Structure 1
Amino acid sequence: MSTNGAWRIRRAEPEEAGELEELQSRSATHWGYPPGYFDWAGDARAIPDAYVRDNPVFVLEEEEGRSLGFYGFTEEDGNLLLDKLFVDADQIGKGYGKLLWQHAIRTARELGRQEFVIASDPNAAPFYAAMGAMEYATKPTPEPSWTLHMFRYPLSD
């Protein structure tokens, strides 16, 4: 767990899955996505209890316990994938994304990885580029107006 007195980052609990899914939905409103926009994605945006139980998922919360953001890693094709990194819509731009990013780097190192990959929302791609991740591809989705931006982040000692 990381802490600075005003906030802490801790492992998420499976019973928080619904709250994290709601935070993820609120975060997407920052980019102007209307309600129901991601219906084309099916269960890809769902966060079931098993997701939190079976993967490294961490929550950034205030001293009072309010969740400000979270991230989660999964495995995909033998790669460690930063599957989710979301900051609550009213907290974006306050440096919390960077705190979660730095914690994710430490977590990936602790998992013994040399790199991780990110499948990014097009609006979040500039954030990952600013954090030093290298874009290597784009992937189409069933929604022609929305393309995943694929990044790699090599971990150095």
Structure 2
Amino acid sequence: MSTNDARRISWIRRIRRAEPAEAGELESLQSRSSTHWGYPPGYFDWAGEARSIPAAYVRNNPVFVLEEDGKRLGFYAFTDEDGDLLLDKLFVDADEIGKGHGKLLWQHAVQTARELGRSELIVASDPNAAPFYAAMGAVQYATKPTAEPSWTLHMFRYTLSR
């Protein structure tokens, strides 16, 4: 066996459905991810429940985790927003940003949306992540104000090709 083969075998990366019992760990990962953009601890306190991830959220929505050797590297979640499929969350752990994990999660999310029979998905993005979604082919169509005047959601549409 070559050294490269041994390296490939030594780590296993997969995307799987999240379990409700992981909700707290996903919420922590989401918080760590936000530190990548320089948000200080507590910055998103104004967002209230929008930042929490209770077990019911994981149970009732398509939530998928990217893991390698049992370590959670990132996750994404869809919700229904007035009949639209909303990519409500896509987070990569702060230490893992820039390693291609976000793109891998995005590609999986697009495939999941297809499997759900959707022709389009909507993304509500942090302003710092907006360039990522644009690079993935999503088209920004609006910004939405939030309770924090200095922070707006960037809204994107992504049409699924068949």
Distance (Å, rounded) in 1 between the aligned partners of 2:40 and 2:14: 31
Aligned to 1:18: 24
- Whether 2:87 is the aligned partner of 1:96: answer no
Aligned to 1:72: 77
Aligned to 2:33: 27
Distance (Å, rounded) in 2 between the aligned partners of 1:120 and 1:77: 18
Q: CA deviation at 1:146?
A: 0.3
Distance (Å, rounded) in 2 between the aligned partners of 1:93 and 1:10: 21
Q: CA deviation at 1:48?
A: 0.2
- Give runs of ≥4 in structure 1 deviating > 6 Å: none
Q: CA deviation at 1:98?
A: 0.2
Deviations 1:11-60 (CA, angstroms, capped at 9, x unpaired): 00000000000000000000000000001000000000000000000000
Aligned to 2:5: none
Distance (Å, rounded) in 1 between the aligned partners of 2:140 and 2:85: 16
SS at structure 1 position matched to 2:133: helix
Alignment map for 1:100-119 (pairs within 5 Å) = 100-119=105-124
Alignment map for 1:2-151 (pairs within 5 Å) = 6-62=12-68, 64-151=69-156
SS at structure 1 position matched to 2:156: strand
The two structures have a TM-score, normalised by structure 1, of 0.96
Q: CA deviation at 1:6?
A: 2.8
Distance (Å, rounded) in 1 between the aligned partners of 2:147 and 2:28: 23
Distance (Å, rounded) in 2 between the aligned partners of 1:142 and 1:73: 23
Distance (Å, rounded) in 2 between the aligned partners of 1:145 and 1:94: 29
Q: Which residue type is aligned with residue 141 of structure 1?
A: T
Distance (Å, rounded) in 2 between the aligned partners of 1:42 and 1:20: 16
Looking at secondary structure, tell me which structure has more helix per residue. Answer: 2
SS at structure 1 position matched to 2:110: helix
- Where does structure 2 lack aligned partners over 5 or more consecutive residues? 1-8
Identity %: 80
Q: Give the root-mean-square deviation of aligned CA atoms.
A: 1.0
Distance (Å, rounded) in 2 between the aligned partners of 1:72 and 1:95: 18
